[in-house]
Amino acid sequence: MVNSAREVSGIPRQPCRCLTADLPDAAALSRLLTEWLGQIPEEERTESEETAWRLDRCRRCDFLRDGTCALCGCYVELRAAKRRMRCPDLPDRWSSEEELRSSIPNC
Ligand code: SF4
């Protein structure tokens, strides 16, 4: 038997099998996102100012589609709320020029 559940940060996760179109309304999706945000362990959460900075960049990005990133498929509010996550674009739109320069060896 194949166990389709996997654990992410100690939280058992089942693969999502629904489309947003299957959800009754936007409020239902918003409640789900809030619930998922609440499951991110404190030590893995992005500081609120940093989350706001990231989401501001997403709002001005052409890859934002109905709350998801067209490059990675993530809900940007969830991706931005996880400290270790990066913007999937190249260059990373969430990093300042200074951060990008320091991440490149010998730059
Ligand atoms: S995560 Fe990056 S590429 Fe995706 S929508 Fe946000 S800024 Fe744009």
Q: Structurally, how many domains does the chain consist of?
A: 1
Q: Is residue 27 part of a domain?
A: no
Ligand 1 touching residue 80 (CB < 6 A): no
Structural domain boundaries enclosing 57: 44-107
Q: Which of 79, 93, 95 to mutate to test the pocket of ligand 1 (most atoms within 8 A of CB)?
A: 93
61 C-alpha vs ligand 1 centroid, how far in Å? 6
Q: Is residue 24 part of a domain?
A: no
Report how far residue 29's alpha carbon sits from residue 73's, in angstroms, rounded to the nearest whole number. Answer: 15
Render the burial of 15-44: b for 16+ CB within 10 Å, e for the rest: eeeeeeeeeeeeeeeeeeeeeebeebeeee
| Interval 10-54: pLDDT, tens | 666 555 555 566 666 778 888 888 999 999 999 999 999 999 999
Ligand 1 touching residue 92 (CB < 6 A): no
Q: What's the whole-model pTM score?
A: 0.74
